[in-house]
Amino acid sequence: MDPATRNITAQRNVTREERLAEIAHEASFYTAATRLWGEYFNETIAKGLWFVEYYATRGFISYTRDFHPIWSKLAEEIKERKIEVRLAKINCSVDKEFCDATGVDEYPQLRLYRDGEFVETFDQPRELDVMRSYLEDHARRSKGLKQTIFSVQEPSVKWSLH
């Protein structure tokens, strides 16, 4: 076990259910990015739209450090604009096996998930306006998908007798 993980585990002797409840609370809409753990990843992102930053604190520190202010500002704007997307981040230096199994090989890497399913890797410029527009677009599409699923209408048929 990685020393950082061992320290966190020792400090936080909590049950799986307690940790999932804590993650769910952190992940409520309009909060800053939720810290994800590989062990709870699938359960955490199972519902809703998630934009996940995979980052590393070893070997890629300057990239992660340079991106942090943009990511923080994005979280603020999502909250202000009430965009229905949750931001999350996973430290691949701690959860290396999970990130390797997921195919993450560069940092920071941004991926979009909808209802637990991988949608795509964000490959546009990592600029605030670009990311915000991208998330607004996907949030609208997600909302449209839900409305389409739940509002199936019967076709109207008009009869006329001549």
Residues 68-127: tens digit of each pLDDT: 889 989 999 998 999 999 999 998 988 999 999 999 988 889 999 999 999 999 999 999
Contact 40, 23 (CB under 8 A): yes
**What local confidence, expressed as pLDDT, does residue 36 receive?**
82
**What local confidence, expressed as pLDDT, does residue 35 receive?**
80
- Write the CB contacts of 3 (distance below 8 Å, at least 6 apart in sequence): none
Flag whether pLDDT at 8 surpasses 70: no
Rg (CA), the chain: 19
Integer Cα distance of 48 and 84 in angstroms: 8
Does the 33-140 domain belong in CATH 3.40.50.2300? no
The two structure tokens encoding residue 133: 């527009």
**What local confidence, expressed as pLDDT, does residue 24 receive?**
52
Residue pLDDT, tens place only, 10-51: 445 667 666 655 555 444 444 457 788 788 899 899 999 999
DSSP secondary structure letter of residue 40 = G
Integer Cα distance of 120 and 114 in angstroms: 10
For residue 31, give the nearest of 54, 9, 50, 56 by alpha carbon: 50
